[in-house]
Chains A and B, each alone.
Chain A
Amino acid sequence: MKRLDWFANPARFLRLARAVQPWAAGVALVAAAVGLYLGLFASPADYQQGESVRIMYVHVPSAWMALFCYTALAGASAVALIWKHPLADLAAKATAPVGAAFTFLALLTGSLWGKPMWGTWWVWDARLTSVLVLFFLYLGYIALNGAFDDPTRGAKASAVLALVGFVNVPIIKFSVDWWNTLHQPASVLRAGGPAIHESMLAPLLLMALAFKAYYVWVLLIRIRAEIAAGKIRAARLRETRVAAS
């Protein structure tokens, strides 16, 4: 019953959440505003890709967040299984839909970028295929989480799934190195430092910061919603106990 007991007094977390949330929202909005201004107006077109390179400013941060969120999901799941803290389960559950959304955006914007650049909306190379697999892993996680009447059981089952699926993350990251892919190799997070000009690096990093701050913002909202739902469940359980006694 430790789980329901925590829901009786998650005050420390809620205080922290209420303090951090406006800052996360602020950073997200400001970084996005500056990033979008630089990305859409005040940065140069690419020598080879022309103006289509601007899609990079939403495509790459989305892809980074897709991987980041799954790593957070797997980390929270590991903490949940090992230390059994209820907050870890909530953080994992709250992250999944956001990660799925970023993965979807990465695939969609990638497709919109690929059509003019490669001449095709889709290609089954290692990078695109493994990101599609990542999307299915997110969906499977969300489905499994909600498939049980007992939410605790759903949380534990999906935690195991999250860890099993984590093997896909390094595959995604290194797919462009291990296989001959149409998708270009890493140009930012690589040995030897970024290969992009700083006029393009700035909006890219700002949008990445904006997306991260957005994730924290929405994560806190979702965890607060889960806590409220947990309190309702606990209160209902108490009511039925009292009624039955």
Chain B
Amino acid sequence: MAKKVALLQGNEACAQGALYAGCTFFGGYPITPSTEVAEVLSIELPKIGGKFIQMEDEIGAMASVIGASLTGAKVLTATSGPGVSLKQELIGYACIAEVPCVIINVMRGGPSTGMPTGPGQSDVQQAKWGTHGDHAAIALVPSSCQEIFSETVRAFNLAEKYRMPVQVLYDEIVGHSRERIEFPEPGDLEVIDREAPSVSPEKYKPFDPSFGDVPPLAAFGTDYRFHVTGLNKAADGFPTTKANLVDDEQRRQVRKVDAATDIESNEEYLTEDAEVIIFAYGSTSRSARYAVNEMRKEGIKVGLFRPITLWPFPEKRIAALAKQAKAIVVAEMNLGQMVLEVERVAKGACQISFLGRVDGDPINPGQIMEKVKEVK
């Protein structure tokens, strides 16, 4: 049977991906350029008995999804830079309390109100370091309508599997472009649900490390009563200031992502023999791919490394490419954010060149070709 196809906006694909993943709760607040995600889910969620709530502000939206997730629901919120800034407080809460949730950030310029209808890629370091304190972070950066669908599904899977907030960041261009999308049939994409406790309610501890680095999470309203707090806590979920217990918990929560091997996801295009590698993500990667094709016609050995998982950063692969290539050109719509990671990981093994743009227009292939030819 032919797959169902449609012409969809990126934000609409995000909403459809969430439904495919089993999302039953959306809490949000209107903000350009992400609002279509909320609009679609306000229509679709009640059809399946799910819940949509427009909260009084961005913080309330984040709070509502965490509360709903603790009852066992798969939850989503969607926003943009100013909203993500407000949500940081409770993204940290979801980190320490280990509550699965997915946060969509349709990136515009900034800081502050910036350019609400223009694209940006300047929240990418915020996705890692935005909330205070040490914590693990997972951030995905799809670059097309189809990929927004599949990466939204993957974001839910990772949130459920690793019991933590997962951010999906895509720039306004990808969010608002209309493209052909082929809908996966049920079963085509993996859908993961959080692990339920296997012990009796009396023995259940919400942060029990004897079950590994990701302890099973019970749901409110079942036989498992438990306590959740944003304070440093022991395995039983209750606050503690005992140094060894705090240290154990803090390290476990970071280790669960550091030690994972199924979070990283990259696409490489003609990198095998490449002397210059372009590092680009989101809509910029599509300009970069065009530039690679054009330059290959001229005989220039250039390739594209496109991270789909931005955090955790693909350290090993970038380190290897830095040894292989003469130069890595980092192109992103900011004034130098992921280039810092590339430099850190490359450890001087090759030249790193940076192309940034923050004027509200996309980085075009011509700019990338110019930059590549400069380092050549």
**Real complex partners, A and B?**
no
